[in-house]
Protein backbone atom coordinates (compact mmCIF):
# COMPACT_ATOMS: atom_id res chain seq x y z
CA UNK A 1 0.00 0.00 0.00
CA UNK A 2 1.32 3.43 -0.97
CA UNK A 3 1.03 6.14 1.69
CA UNK A 4 1.40 9.84 0.82
CA UNK A 5 2.91 12.22 3.37
CA UNK A 6 4.37 15.74 3.53
CA UNK A 7 7.48 17.17 5.14
CA UNK A 8 8.41 20.87 4.99
CA UNK A 9 5.70 21.39 2.38
CA UNK A 10 7.07 18.78 -0.03
CA UNK A 11 5.13 15.60 -0.71
CA UNK A 12 6.56 12.11 -0.53
CA UNK A 13 5.27 8.56 -0.67
CA UNK A 14 6.34 5.29 0.94
CA UNK A 15 5.28 1.77 0.01
CA UNK A 16 6.49 -1.78 0.40
CA UNK A 17 7.10 -4.51 -2.16
CA UNK A 18 9.07 -7.73 -2.06
CA UNK A 19 10.23 -7.31 1.56
CA UNK A 20 11.61 -3.79 0.95
CA UNK A 21 10.31 -0.30 1.61
CA UNK A 22 10.55 2.35 -1.07
CA UNK A 23 10.19 6.13 -0.93
CA UNK A 24 9.62 8.79 -3.57
CA UNK A 25 10.01 12.54 -3.05
CA UNK A 26 7.89 14.68 -5.34
CA UNK A 27 10.07 17.57 -6.45
CA UNK A 28 8.99 19.21 -9.68
CA UNK A 29 12.16 21.26 -10.09
CA UNK A 30 14.42 18.20 -9.98
CA UNK A 31 12.12 15.45 -11.27
CA UNK A 32 11.89 13.76 -7.86
CA UNK A 33 14.04 11.31 -5.94
CA UNK A 34 13.52 7.66 -5.09
CA UNK A 35 15.17 5.25 -2.69
CA UNK A 36 14.85 1.96 -0.84
CA UNK A 37 15.11 1.04 2.83
CA UNK A 38 14.80 -2.00 5.06
CA UNK A 39 11.89 -0.70 7.16
CA UNK A 40 9.04 1.77 6.86
CA UNK A 41 10.55 4.08 9.46
CA UNK A 42 13.89 4.03 7.61
CA UNK A 43 12.11 4.90 4.37
CA UNK A 44 10.29 7.81 6.02
CA UNK A 45 13.52 9.05 7.62
CA UNK A 46 15.42 8.82 4.32
CA UNK A 47 12.68 10.67 2.43
CA UNK A 48 12.53 13.42 5.06
CA UNK A 49 16.32 13.73 5.02
CA UNK A 50 16.25 14.14 1.24
CA UNK A 51 13.58 16.81 1.56
CA UNK A 52 15.69 18.68 4.12
CA UNK A 53 18.68 18.57 1.75
CA UNK A 54 16.48 19.96 -1.05
CA UNK A 55 15.15 22.70 1.23
CA UNK A 56 18.62 23.65 2.45
CA UNK A 57 20.06 23.83 -1.05
CA UNK A 58 17.05 25.85 -2.30
CA UNK A 59 17.40 28.29 0.60
CA UNK A 60 21.15 28.62 0.05
CA UNK A 61 20.66 29.23 -3.69
CA UNK A 62 18.00 31.83 -2.89
CA UNK A 63 20.33 33.69 -0.51
CA UNK A 64 23.23 33.52 -2.93
CA UNK A 65 21.03 34.90 -5.68
CA UNK A 66 19.73 37.71 -3.44
CA UNK A 67 23.22 38.63 -2.26
CA UNK A 68 24.48 38.65 -5.84
CA UNK A 69 21.67 41.02 -6.86
CA UNK A 70 22.45 43.25 -3.88
CA UNK A 71 26.13 43.37 -4.80
CA UNK A 72 25.30 44.32 -8.40
CA UNK A 73 22.88 47.02 -7.22
CA UNK A 74 25.37 48.50 -4.79
CA UNK A 75 28.06 48.48 -7.44
CA UNK A 76 25.74 50.34 -9.84
CA UNK A 77 24.70 53.07 -7.37
CA UNK A 78 27.89 53.60 -5.38
CA UNK A 79 30.42 56.14 -6.53
CA UNK A 80 33.88 54.58 -6.08
CA UNK A 81 35.49 58.04 -6.00
CA UNK A 82 33.42 59.21 -3.02
What distance in Å separates the CA atoms of residue 15 and residue 1, rounded to the nearest whole number? 6
CA–centroid distance for 40 within its chain: 20
With b for 16 or more beta-carbon neighbours within 10 A and e for fewer, the 50-82 pattern comes to bbeebeeeeeeeeeeeeeeeeeeeeeeeeeeee
Q: Which pLDDT value is given to residue 40?
A: 94
From first to last of its 82 residues, the chain has per-residue pLDDT tens of 688 898 888 889 999 998 999 999 987 566 688 999 999 999 999 999 988 887 777 666 666 666 667 777 777 777 665 5
Q: Which pLDDT value is given to residue 79?
A: 61
SS3 breakdown of the chain: % helix, strand, coil, rounded to 5? 45, 30, 25
- How do the domains of the chain map onto residue ranges? 3-77
Dihedral, CA of residue 52, residue 30, residue 59 and residue 43, to nearest 10: 0
Q: Which pLDDT value is given to residue 82?
A: 52
| pTM, to two decimals | 0.66
Amino acid sequence: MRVSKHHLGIGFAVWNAQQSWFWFVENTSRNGMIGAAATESDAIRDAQSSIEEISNSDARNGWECSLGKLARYLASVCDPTA
